[in-house]
């Protein structure tokens, strides 16, 4: 972590948060520093994924304040983060459109993203390359291909904060290795909050926190 960047980028103060009649956080305070890589673990159903949605501004706390990169307005928070979930969102579009999602991305930048996520190993074999229409066949993509598209989308957004929600949990061992390589490009020099059951994926992370019983603790 760079010392110059040693400031808190996410600050939660006295946050109480329930979801579907279950208390996820009960008057908890926490802070994550810029460039810090945080692993979040916990039992199934402890609210790890819901916690990520809270950080992303998709859900609001019942009480307390949450600030993400000095913003507390959920719409502005969303602009500061990228998210990769367990199930990659693949739409009936071309690979390029699935990455750009309607935004203008220059060819050089797109080529960089495709190489960084190693999507080129696959797209180079396709007659229409990254302009291949996934359409109704989107479900036929392998988990690794779909997840690499999701990571490419996150890289394209170039947000400072990356939220990862078990992005490799549905993949086999060989594919996990490939996807982790792509993830490393995404999280390099970014603030990362990574929810996972697979603690071995959190090697080298600055802190590992646990969620459970309404608390978040080291």
Partner 1 sequence: MNKEVIKMLKVCGVWKMFLIMLILRFPFDILNSVIKANLMQCFIHMIRQNQKENLWFNVVLFFTLSALLFGYNMSIWSTIAVKTTVLLQTKLRKKIYEKILDLSPREMSEESKGDWFTALNNDVDNACAYLTSPLNYMHMVIALVNLVLSSIIMIFLNVELYVIGICCLLPFFFLNVMVISRKITFFKERAKKSLVKYTDWIEVSLKEKSLLSVYDAKEFVYEKIEKQSLNILKENMKAHNRMCICNALYAFSGMLGYLLLLFRGSDIIEEDKTDLAGLTKMTQYRSETVRSVNCIYSSVNNMNASIVGVRRINEIIGGENNG
| Contact residues: partner 1, CB under 8 A | 53, 56, 58, 78-79, 81-83, 85, 89, 91-92, 101-102, 135-140, 153, 157
Query: Residue 212's beta-bridge partner residues?
Result: 215
Q: Which residues partner with 18 through β-bridges?
A: 23
Measured CA to CA, the distance from residue 36 to residue 50 in angstroms comes to: 20
**C-beta of 23 vs 89, nearer to partner 1:** 89
Alpha-carbon distance 200 to 212, whole Å? Answer: 20
- 74, 116, 211 from 60: Cα distances, Å: 8, 34, 18
DSSP E strands in the chain: the ranges are: 8-19, 22-33, 37-41, 63-68, 81-84, 161-165, 191-195, 207-212, 215-217
- Within 44-102, strands assigned E span 63-68, 81-84
Nearer of residues 7 and 76 to partner 1, judged by Cβ: 76
CB of 41 to partner 1, least distance (A): 21
Please report how close the Cβ of residue 186 comes to partner 1 at its closest, in angstroms. 14
The least distance separating partner 1 from the CB of residue 135, rounded to whole angstroms, comes to 8
Minimum CB separation from partner 1 for residue 140, in Å?
A: 5
Q: Least distance (Å) from partner 1 to the CB of residue 10?
A: 15
Q: Which residue has the tokens 């078990």?
A: 166
Compare residues 81 and 201 and give the one whose CB is closer to partner 1: 81
Is 50 or 196 the residue whose CB approaches partner 1 more closely?
50
Q: Which of residues 31 and 142 has its CB atom nearest to partner 1 in the complex?
A: 142
The radius of gyration of the chain from alpha carbons, rounded to an integer in Å, stands at 18
């Amino acid at each position: 972590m760079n010392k110059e960047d040693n400031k808190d980028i996410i600050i939660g103060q006295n946050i109480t948060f329930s979801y579907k009649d279950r208390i996820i956080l009960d008057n908890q305070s926490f802070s994550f520093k810029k460039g810090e890589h945080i692993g979040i673990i916990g039992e199934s159903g402890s609210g790890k994924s819901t916690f990520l949605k809270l950080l992303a501004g998709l859900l609001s706390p019942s009480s307390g304040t949450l600030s993400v990169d000095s913003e507390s307005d959920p719409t502005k928070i969303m602009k500061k983060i990228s998210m990769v979930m367990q199930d990659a969102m693949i739409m009936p579009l071309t690979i390029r459109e699935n990455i750009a999602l309607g935004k203008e991305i220059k060819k050089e930048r797109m080529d960089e993203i495709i190489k960084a996520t190693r999507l080129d190993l696959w797209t180079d074999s396709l007659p229409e390359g990254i302009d291949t229409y996934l359409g109704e066949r989107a479900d036929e993509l392998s988990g690794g291909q779909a997840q690499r598209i999701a990571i490419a989308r996150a890289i394209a957004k170039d947000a400072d904060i990356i939220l990862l929600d078990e992005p490799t949990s549905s993949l086999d061992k060989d594919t996990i290795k490939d996807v982790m390589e792509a993830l490393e490009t995404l999280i390099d020099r970014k603030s990362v909050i990574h929810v996972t059951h697979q603690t071995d994926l959190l090697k080298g992370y600055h802190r590992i926190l646990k969620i459970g019983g309404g608390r978040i603790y080291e």
